[in-house]
């Protein structure tokens, strides 16, 4: 699991775990969360999978400032709206500049395996 590996790496660098991995829900999606204690504050991190992609959201806050910063972040993330996967398809736009157009078309061919 990506979260366990991230925690092991950070622990290996001397960064302490402030809160272990736990299940949660964020951005309307099931996720995991954990906290790491840095010299500059606490990192709260969430990891979630949506449409086959792993997303990570992090919030760094001072020990005493957790509530106001955390509450603001949660209010922002509660407004998150996911686009359907088909809305993220590559555009059929082709640039007018001949050099850029050639690079763009070559990139598209590589992506399509031609």
**Residue 23: strand pairing partners:** 32
| Contact (CB, 8 A) for 33 and 46 | yes
* pLDDT for position 53: 86
CB atoms within 10 A of CB 33: 20
Q: Which token pair is 14?
A: 């001397």
Residues of the chain with pLDDT > 70, as a percent, come to: 89
The C-alpha atoms of residue 45 and residue 27 are separated, in whole angstroms, by 13
Of the two residues 112 and 47, the one the predictor is more confident about is 47
pLDDT tens for each residue of 24-57: 999 989 999 999 888 888 999 999 998 888 899 9
Average pLDDT over residues 92-104: 69
Report strand pairing: 53-61 vs 16-26. Answer: unpaired
The C-alpha atoms of residue 59 and residue 41 are separated, in whole angstroms, by 10
Looking at every residue in the chain, the average pLDDT score rounds to 82
pTM higher than the cut 0.85: no
């Amino acid at each position: 699991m990506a979260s366990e590996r991230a925690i092991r790496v950070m622990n290996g660098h001397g960064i302490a775990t402030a809160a272990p991995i736990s299940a949660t829900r964020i951005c309307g999606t099931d996720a995991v969360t954990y906290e790491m204690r840095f010299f500059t504050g606490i990192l709260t991190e969430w990891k979630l999978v949506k449409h086959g992609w792993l997303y990570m959201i992090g919030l760094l806050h001072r020990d005493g400032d957790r509530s106001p910063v955390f509450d603001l972040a949660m209010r922002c993330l509660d407004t998150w709206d996911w686009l359907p996967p088909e809305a993220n398809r590559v555009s059929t736009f082709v640039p007018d500049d001949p050099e850029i157009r050639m690079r763009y078309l070559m990139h598209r061919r590589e992506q399509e395996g031609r």
